[in-house]
Structure 1
């Protein structure tokens, strides 16, 4: 399958490596490839420059967002939440019409000016916006009415999404969306990653809960000092 991954961060790299190993034709999208490849600094989370990552992976192609998505059968959105809607809208509804768009972005607003900030080892915990009455995935779906948006992958670190066997357990991951065939495509991809417990949460409204879970996920991760899985007991 031809798959476009939008974004060049650590999560996108996890998917690029996994999908390539599974035999998919993977294209990575970025705003400006020349700017992306010119960066030489490690990002605040310790991620190496993308040029270093790309240099050892001859099967990957780096293109501007619109070009990366034009030939793709399925798209994975890893663009940061603050910029995702604008970047996807710029690609165009016509380009993305009919395509499955799996969104795992969290609508974080970094360095928030709030009365009671939550300190973490890497700085103040970002604020979520939108929250409660909307979600990033719903905003994307409204901006791209002919795309088929699925919220998935967002309740785990992406290292775990692509390797659920990391913890050796049958833990749970979630999908939500308004298009059954798109949710099935996301489910099939997750099964190819090794997931066996995939819980369909229903319509895209459920993306609100999935995104808001990010703070609980961070709290658990900080308490445990590392990655983990969760299991829904029925």
Structure 2
């Protein structure tokens, strides 16, 4: 299958590398290919420059967002940062029409003022916007009415999403939500190819609100386990 992974951060890299291992043809998307390849310093999370990473992954092709989405034959993974995702995806809506978009972005806002900041090992915890009465996934779906949006992956570090067996032998739970049964089935099949066996369908896309808001709890658990960022752990719905 030809799969597009939009974004060049650590999560997008994890998906691209795993998809190549599984035999897929992978096209990664970025805003500006030349600028992305010109970077010589690690990113804010300490990932090596993308050009260096790309040289070590010959099965991945880097393209502008629109071209990467167009190259997909039906499945696109959104790894664009939450603050910019909706606008970036809306600008290429025609290239995403008729396709399944699995979104794992968190709608974090990093620059804001609050009376009661949450200090973390790396700074102040960002806030979520939207929150409670809307979600980023729903906003993306409204901006892309001809695309089938599924929310998933967001309750885990992406390195764990693509390798669930790395935590507890894989005995933990992944969630999906969306308004299109066939798109959720595609997400389910991808997750099973990654190694997931416990996949819980939460229902319609409105349930993305709960998944996105869980991001703060994910961070809190990570801090409790002594991790600076997230960390390798899983959550299990016992039923």
Q: TM-score range by the shorter chain?
A: over 0.9
Give TM-score, length-normalised by structure 2.
Answer: 0.96
Alpha-carbon displacement from aligned partner over 1:45-93 (angstroms, at most 9, x marks no partner): 111110110011111100000000112020000000000001001112x
Q: Is the 8 Å Cα contact of residues 111 and 125 (structure 1) preserved in structure 2? A: no
The answer for the alignment partner of 2:65 in structure 1 is: 65
User: Could you tell which deviates more after superposition, 174-183 or 43-52?
Assistant: 43-52
- Aligned counterpart, 1:141: 141
Partner of 1:131: 131
CA RMSD of aligned residues (A): 0.8
State the secondary structure of the residue aligned to 1:19. Answer: helix
2: CA distance between counterparts of 1:224 and 1:173?
20
Q: 1:232 aligns with which of 231, 234, 237?
A: 237
Q: Output the CA distance in 1 between the equivalents of 2:170 and 2:147.
A: 34
1:42 CA drift (Å): 1.2
Contact 2:170 2:196 in 1 (8 A): no
Q: CA deviation at 1:12?
A: 0.3
**Aligned 8 A contact 2:27 2:71 in 1:** no
Alignment match, 1:7: 7
6-15 or 35-44: bigger deviation: 35-44
Equivalent position SS for 2:91: helix
Counterpart of 2:95?
95
Contact 1:27/1:68 (<8 A) preserved: yes
Deviations 1:25-53 (Å, cap 9, x if unpaired)?
Answer: 00000000000000111122111110110
What is the number of residues matched between the two proteins?
233
1:70-219 paired onto structure 2 within 5 Å: 70-72=70-72, 73-92=74-93, 94-167=94-167, 168-219=169-220
